[in-house]
Amino acid sequence: MSGSAVLAVDRDGPVATLRITRPEVHNALNARVLRELDEAVAGLPAEGVRAIVLTGTGHRAFSAGADLDELAGLSADDAYDVLAAGQAVVGRVERCPVPVIAAVNGLALGGGFELVLACTFAVLADNAQLGLPEAGLGLMPGYGGTQRLARRVGQPVAAHAMLTGARIPADRAHALGLTPVPPVPVEEVLAAAQELAGQVAARGPRAVRAVLLALRHGADAPLETGLAFETALAGLVTGGPEAAEGIAAFRARRPPRFDDLPARPEEER
């Protein structure tokens, strides 16, 4: 294991697990956590990581949100700079070239929930609760929550969560589509997320990246634009070495050997 006092990094082949290590403050997101998260998300794909799992330490909280000690007493201009920097990190998690899977091991509130929303998808423990309670403190979501949550569940549900501070329990989150899999016991959530990450990492890495690009490009684009982008990406993937290996493996009734393929120039750096 490598890492720091606030973000631990474990590597198991093509899967990396990032764990916020501030359990004494429910894994609150301070500037150091965000900086180290930003560095890890930027660096790990270049080191051959094909899937990332993001979680918190302990069984109580994924992250209870932004560290209020760093927000107290800021002027409007200073607060803007701090929040813009945090929002940029969350945005880079969303745009990571490999999937980022959140293993939500308890509370995910405020910035913690916003970080979950930026991940590719999430696995929730059965004790997980999601929420954006900022308005109760005279604040508002600042790491993308007003935009991402409304796009995921619709404006009325998002407005209710933000304006009342009501928490979304794990089973409700699954019903709303905030997690693609049913909640699991908190003791199993990390292993469940790592298993899914392993399944993703075993697939063609160039194909996975192309799927992520297509999903992200098409999220807010007109359908015809998204379809044209999909066709362009699918053509590149189909004409590439991964498809040749995958089809050959299918015909030979053997697992594909994507690791044996030569790396692209940007993957060698």
Residue indicated by tokens 């900086």: 35
What is d(CA 226, CA 205) in angstroms, rounded to the nearest whole number? 21
Q: 24, 36, 94, 114: which is the annotated catalytic residue? A: 114
Burial class (CB in 10 A: 0-12, 13-18, 19+), 124: buried
114 is annotated as an active-site residue: yes
How is residue 26 written in tokens? 């429910």
77: region left, alpha or beta (phi > 0 left; psi from -120 to 50 alpha)? alpha
**What is the end-to-end Cα distance of the chain in Å, rounded?**
23
Q: 134, 188, 242, 268: which is the annotated catalytic residue? A: 134
How is residue 132 written in tokens? 């954006």
Contact 32, 70 (CB under 8 A): no
Contact 133, 109 (CB under 8 A): yes
230 is annotated as an active-site residue: no
List, in sequence order, every beta strand (DSSP E) within 106-200. Answer: 107-109, 121-124, 129-131, 168-169
Dihedrals phi, psi of 199, to nearest 5 degrees? -65, -45
> For the packed helices 205-218 and 223-238, what is the interaxial angle rounded to 10 degrees?
170
Contact 42, 92 (CB under 8 A): yes
- Catalytically active residues, by annotation: 114, 134
